[in-house]
Chain A
Amino acid sequence: MAENKTHILVCGGTGCLASQADKIIENLKTEIEANDLENDVRVISTGCFGFCEKGPVIKVVPDNTFYTSVKPSDAADIVQEHLIKGRPLQRLLYKNPKNNYHVSDSSKIDFYKKQVRIALRNCGFIDPENIDEYIARDGYAALGTSLSEYTPEEVIDTIKKSGLRGRGGGGFPTGLKWEITRNVENDQKYVVCNADEGDPGAFMDRSILEGDPHSVIEAMAICGYCIGADKGLVYIRAEYPLAINRLKTALTQAREYGLLGEDILGSNFSFDIELRYGAGAFVCGEETALIHSMEGLRGEPTFKPPFPSVSGYFGKPTNVNNVETFANIPVIINKGAEWFSSIGNENSKGTKVFALAGKVNNVGLIEVPMGITLREVIFDIGGGIRDGKKFKAVQTGGPSGGCLTDKELDIPIDYDNLIKAGSMMGSGGMIVMDEDDCMVSIAKFYLEFTLDESCGKCTPCRIGNKRLHEILDKITQGKGTVEDLERLSLLSNVIKDSSLCGLGQTSPNPVLSTLKNFNEEYMAHVTEGKCPAGQCKDLLKYEIDAEMCTGCTLCFRNCPVGAITGERKQPHYINQSLCIKCGVCFQKCKFKAINII
C-alpha cells in the first residue's frame, strides 16, 4: 500500500460479489474522481473479510472504520461524509445487537474479538491481484530465508516442532509427511495442493485462494525445496472461477518476480506450479482419488499403502497438503515454531478456519485458536441463534462428521476432542441447527450427499448407504419401526468397518451421531408417527387457527395450488386433500394464524 493516504478496502469474496460489491467499487471510484480525490484515496478489492452475514462489507484504513450491508447507492454518501467531511457514516456502521450502539472499529466487533488470524492473515487486507502488497506484508520472506539460510532438513524440523497438522480433515502431522516424502529416493517428485473443497457448506479454502493466493504459492515452493520436488500442481474445483483467475494472476506475477521458475533467488532451486481442474467429485478430496483424477482418470481411491508420499502422481513420490495447511507455512517460518505452538492446546496447535453457517446470527468465515469452545464460537462470535430460537445441534466435519448437542458445547475444539465426542474436525464446515431442524431429515440429507458422491467402487459404501437412505426415508414418512433403528446402527457399523476409503468409512457418522444424541426424536417418528421439529412433510399438516385469522386473503392469494378457501375478513380454511405442504402460506401469514401440526 504505497503513497495514497486513505484506502477503501471492499470485500471481493464470492458472497459480497453476489451482493454487488463490484458495483460498489465502480461507484466509489466514480465518486472519488468526481471529487478530485484520486491521488489521496485508493479503492481496493480484497479477499473475504469473513463477515458474510453483513455483506457487502467495506473497511476504510487507516482509521479502521467498518461499514456493513453497503449498497452501490451508498458510495456517494461514503465519499461525502467519510472522505470529505471526515466523519463516519453512522447509518452504515455495525450496530451491536446487545445494546444498539454503533461500533466503528472492526476489531471491537464481537464477531472479530475472539478470532486469531493466521491462515487468513491477509484476507481482507491486501489486493490479492497485486504481489507487491503480499510482499509488503512479509510475503516471500519465508521462501527467501528458507533457501538462503536453512537446509531442507532444518525447515522440516521447524514445521515438525510447530506441531502443524493437516487442515483438510485427517490431522496428519505436516512436518512428518514432508519428511517421509523427502526420504524417498526418486528423480522426480511432486508437491500437490488439494483445493478440491467438496464439503457442502464450506468455503475456507476458496476464500484463502481468493484473498491470498501468494501464501499458497510460497508455501508450495518451500515444500518443493524441502522434499526435493521441482514441480507443483494445484488441484482446484472448476466451480471456483474467481479463485482460479486470482491464482493464475498470482502465478504469472510470481514468475515475473523470479519467485517461481529456474534458479529461484539465485539458489539453484527451481520450481513451478501448474493447475489441474476438478470436476465436481467429493471423493477426490481423498489423496489417492485426487491423484487419479489429476492423471485424467475417474477419481476412484485405491488401497494405501503405498501412500502417495512413496508412489503418487504417475507413480512418483507426491506430497499432498490442503490449502489451509499451506497458508500456515510461511508464517511458521517467519515467526518460528515456538510462536506457532504457543497457540492452541496440547495436541492441536495453531488455529483453524471454520465456515460458520446455518441458524446463527453471524454467518461467516472465522479463524479461531484450537481449544476454543463450541459455545464461544456459536454464541460469542456467531452471536447466538437467529430469531431468538433455541440451539439444538452443531454439525462439524461435513458429511463425514457428526451432530453435537448442548452437552458438548463446552468441550475445547481440537482434532482429538471432536473425534471423542463422535464428530470430527473435517475441513472446517460448522453448521448450526435450531429447534426447527429435524435431525432424522438432516441425517437423510447427508446420506443423499454420500449416495451421490460414492464412487461405487466398494459394495458397502455403494449399496450400504443406499439401504441406510431407504430406511431413513421410510422413517421420515412415518413408516419406520423400532427395528429399523437397530438396523440403521448395525448397517452403519458394517459400512464403517468394511469400506476402503475415508468417504465410506465416515459416511454413516451423521446417522450414528444423531441416533445417539437424538434418539427420542427418532422414536417419535417411529412410534408416534410424529416429527417434533415439524419438518417431515408426510407427518405434518398446516391448519389455520380461526381465532387468529383476520381474513386478509394473503394466504389464499399465494397458495400455488388453490387449496385455501375463505371470504374476505372471515377465517380461511385449508383443504388438506389439495395441500402440497409447500409452506408458502405459513411464511406469508402476518398474524401467526397458520399452525404446523
Chain B
Amino acid sequence: MPKVKLSEYATSTIKEICESFNNSESELINVLHQTQSKLGYLPAEVQELIAKELNASTAKVYGVVTFYSFFTMLPQGEFPLSVCMGTACYVRGAEQVLDEIKRQLKIEVGETTADGKFSLNALRCVGACGLAPVVMVGDKVHGRVAPADVKKILAECKEGCPATA
C-alpha cells in the first residue's frame, strides 16, 4: 500500500475529532465513523494517529477497522457503485448484474478503477426490496436493474451526472 502523507488539514481534523470524544478509547468506533466521513477513508497513517490520540495500540485500531465492513482503507472512486446483494436482490438476479459491472470496469468487489472514477462494493440490503435488484451510485438508487442496463448506468456517470444527484 503506498505511503500517505497526512495533510495539515487531515491531522488537525483527526485531533479535533478525538478531542470531541475526550480522547476516550471506548469511543474508537465513533471516532472512526467521523474520521471516515470527513476524510473518505482510513489509511494506515490515519489509524496510527488515531491510536496515538486515544492512547491505544495501532493493532487495536487496525483490528477494529478491518473487522467492520463499513470502514475502508482504500479511497473510493468518484462514483462509488454498490450492488445490493441482499437475498431479495440476489433471487432477482443481482449476481448477474454484479458480474456485468465487474466485467465492464475490469475490477473486483472492493477495488477502484485505475482512473479513480469508479469503485465497486457489494451491500447487504438497502431496504428497497420492491425495486430489486438495486444498484446504488453514491446516494442515487437505480431499481430493477438488468445486466443489459449496466452500460447505460456507467455511461450516465461518465457524462457527468453527479454522484449525489
Q: Does B103 lie at the interface of the complex (its beta carbon under 8 Å from any beta carbon of A)?
A: yes
Which residues of A387-445 are within 8 A (CB) of B?
Answer: 395, 398, 429, 431, 433, 437, 442, 445
**Chain A 550-571 interface 0/1 with B at a Cβ cutoff of 8 Å (1 = within):** 0000000010100000000000
Q: In the complex the two chains form, is B146's CB within 8 Å of A587's CB?
A: yes
Q: In the complex the two chains form, is B147's CB within 8 Å of A52's CB?
A: no
B29 and chain A: residue at smallest CB distance: A296
Residues A297 and B125 in contact in the complex (CB < 8 Å), given A239-B70, A280-B70, A587-B147: no
Q: Does A363 lie at the interface of the complex (its beta carbon under 8 Å from any beta carbon of B)?
A: yes
Closest Cβ of chain A: how far from B108's Cβ, in Å? 14
Residues A281 and B68 in contact in the complex (CB < 8 Å), given A201-B86, A582-B147: yes
CA distance A560 to B97 in the complex (A): 13
- Neighbour of B100 across the interface among A276, A364, A445, A560, CB < 8 A: A560
Q: In the complex the two chains form, is B147's CB within 8 Å of A18's CB?
A: no
Q: In the complex the two chains form, is A445's CB within 8 Å of B70's CB?
A: no
What total of chain A residues lie within 8 Å of the partner, measured CB to CB?
60
Contact residues in B for A584 (Cβ distance below 8 Å): 100, 146-148
Binds A, one of B10-18, B20-28, B154-162: B20-28
CA distance A239 to B84 in the complex (A): 13
CA distance A452 to B70 in the complex (A): 13
Closest Cβ of chain B: how far from A367's Cβ, in Å? 16
B27 and chain A: residue at smallest CB distance: A296
CA distance A442 to B126 in the complex (A): 19
CA distance A297 to B63 in the complex (A): 9
**Total A-B contacts with CB atoms under 8 angstroms apart:** 147
Q: Does B163 lie at the interface of the complex (its beta carbon under 8 Å from any beta carbon of A)?
A: no
Q: In the complex the two chains form, is A15's CB within 8 Å of B130's CB?
A: yes
Can you list 8 residue pairs at the A/B interface with Cβ under 8 Å? Answer: A52-B128, A55-B131, A277-B33, A280-B68, A281-B68, A297-B64, A431-B87, A584-B100
Q: Which residues of B contact A (CB under 8 A)?
A: 25-30, 32-33, 63-64, 67-71, 85-93, 96, 99-100, 103-104, 123-132, 134, 141, 143, 146-148
CA distance A327 to B8 in the complex (A): 47
Q: Does A341 lie at the interface of the complex (its beta carbon under 8 Å from any beta carbon of B)?
A: no
Closest Cβ of chain A: how far from B146's Cβ, in Å? 6
**Chain A 227-248 interface 0/1 with B at a Cβ cutoff of 8 Å (1 = within):** 0000000000011100000000
Q: Does A157 lie at the interface of the complex (its beta carbon under 8 Å from any beta carbon of B)?
A: no
- Neighbour of B96 across the interface among A52, A359, A583, CB < 8 A: A583
A434 and chain B: residue at smallest CB distance: B91
Q: In the complex the two chains form, is A15's CB within 8 Å of B32's CB?
A: no
* Residue with the highest number of chain A CB atoms closer than 10 Å, among B64, B85, B96, B127: B127
CA distance A560 to B150 in the complex (A): 11
Residues A298 and B67 in contact in the complex (CB < 8 Å), given A395-B87, A398-B87, A583-B96: yes
Q: In the complex the two chains form, is A558's CB within 8 Å of B126's CB?
A: no
Q: In the complex the two chains form, is A238's CB within 8 Å of B125's CB?
A: no
A242 and chain B: residue at smallest CB distance: B127
18 more contacts with CB within 8 A, not counting A55-B130, A280-B124, are: A15-B129, A18-B128, A19-B141, A52-B128, A54-B130, A200-B124, A279-B68, A281-B68, A295-B26, A298-B64, A357-B130, A429-B87, A558-B148, A560-B104, A580-B103, A583-B96, A587-B146, A587-B147
